[in-house]
Amino acid sequence: MIEAVNLNKSFITPRGRIDVLKDFSFSIENGAFVGITGKSGAGKSTLLSIIAGLQKPDSGSLVINGTDLLSLDDKNLSLFRNQNIGFVSQEQSFLENFTVLDNVRLPAFLGNKKVDDGTAKTITERANQLLGSLGIAHLAQNYPNTLSGGENHRVLIARALINNPAIILADEPTDSVDLEQTQSIIKIFRGLANEGKTILIASHDTEALKLCDSEIKI
């Protein structure tokens, strides 16, 4: 379960202080598929980043499956995120000198203290399976800068799923893809939710939001 109480987050800009989240509270059960909606600049991406532990709120509390995220130091927060949360950002943050396959495998290697040949093989098999499920298995040995925006977005989704996280956060996951690919991506998320994983997507895509169980409006 994700439980947030009175989250506040503001930013100081040349225009002055902007309150993005103000006393924002919500509760999400495990296995829910939730859409986060709101106009551009309302704070959807900020909220996902806070849940992922990539940003801290100014105040409030955030508990995920019994763990108080705001009480963790940076090391334990990174470990918790690696083991429990898959994050699909809008920014295509790749290691450009790594192949698609290597980029997808990386979080799994980072999450294992000791990687032997058997572990590496298992990680590689899972990475290839994920790439196949997203229709980009043929791009495994390509480099990110040779892919289209939509292809790179699907690589990000595969990377987010590599550690089989309990929670998947996706910021505009169907951006830069066509309707057929949108339906394919949302079908994957829907299946993961049916398996008991918690899915949160920030989206303006009405087709994607139709398949969510509920919506949180910011």
Structure token digits, residue 111:
């999450």
* Percentage, residues of the chain above pLDDT 70: 97
Higher pLDDT, 113 or 36: 36
Per-residue pLDDT of 181-190, as tens digits, reads: 788 888 888 8
- Report how far apart the first and last C-alpha atoms of the chain are (Å, whole number): 20
- Which tokens is 80 given? 């918790």
Secondary structure (DSSP) of 38-107 = -STTSSHHHHHHHHTTSS--SEEEEEETTEEGGG--HHHHHHHHHHHEEEE-SS----TTS-HHHHHHHH
Q: What strands lie across the sheet with 59-64, from one edge to the other?
A: 16-28, 2-13, 59-64, 67-68
Amino acid at 191: G
Distances (CA, A) of 86 to 48, 68, 114: 11, 18, 21
Task: Encode pLDDT of 5-39 as tens digits.
Answer: 999 999 988 888 989 999 999 999 999 999 999 88
> What is the rounded distance in angstroms from the CA atom of residue 111 to the CA atom of residue 70?
21
Between CA 27 and CA 21 the distance in angstroms is 16
Q: At what angle do helices 100-110 and 149-161 cross, to 10 degrees?
A: 20
**Structural domains of the chain ordered from first start:** 2-217 (3.40.50.300)
Output phi, psi for 198, to 5 deg. Answer: -95, 125
CA–CA separation, 203 and 205 (whole Å) = 5
- Say what the pTM is: 0.87
Query: Which pairing describes strands 2-13 and 167-171: parallel, antiparallel, or unpaired?
Result: unpaired
Name the pairing type of β-strands 33-37 and 198-202: parallel
Asked if 165 contacts 110 with a C-beta cutoff of 8 angstroms, the reply is: no
Contacts of residue 92, Cβ cutoff 8 Å, sequence gap at least 6: 144, 149, 152, 153, 156
Q: What is the pLDDT, as a whole number, of residue 116?
A: 64
How many CA atoms, within 13 angstroms, populate the side-chain half-sphere of residue 102? 10
Indicate the range of 58-62, 89-93, 122-126, 138-142 predicted with least confidence: 89-93
Question: What is the amino acid identity at position 78?
Answer: S
